[in-house]
Amino acid sequence: MVAEGEVLTASAAGYGKRTPIAEFPLQGRGGQGVIALQTSERNGAAVAALQVLPGQEIMLISSNGTLVRTAVDEISVLGRNTQGVG
């Protein structure tokens, strides 16, 4: 992963957020990882995480076939250990 841009995370209930890559500490061998998205009954499990850059667009497809195309810049930038917004 290149150390620029942001990490986009999405939950099963449709909540998402962008987090600057700088908020994710480097992990060495044996590292136990870091929390990228707080899960709860409200937002469900994490279902996606990918690196994005400003100006990009993404397409999301729900389990019932609904397709949503949105600009990455329209998704809120939040801290690493938060739930995200719907």
The tens digit of pLDDT for each residue in 26-61 reads 888 888 888 888 888 888 999 999 999 989 999 988
The residue with tokens 């076939």 is 65
Domain of residue 38, residue span: 6-25+33-74
For residue 25, name the pLDDT band (cuts at 50, 70, 90): confident
Task: Give the Cβ contact number of residue 78 at 10 Å.
Answer: 18
Residue 86 forms part of a structural domain: no
Tell how strand 57-61 and strand 46-52 pair up.
unpaired
Residue 10 forms part of a structural domain: yes
Residue 58 forms part of a structural domain: yes
Q: Which of 6, 8, 5, 2 is nearest to 47 (CA)?
A: 8
Per the structure, the count of domains in the chain is: 1
Name 29's Cβ contacts closer than 8 Å, sequence gap at least 6.
none
Residue 82 forms part of a structural domain: no
State the average pLDDT over residues 56-68: 89
Residue 55 forms part of a structural domain: yes
Residue 12 forms part of a structural domain: yes
Residue 47 forms part of a structural domain: yes
Query: What was the pLDDT predicted at 53?
Result: 92
Residue 44 forms part of a structural domain: yes
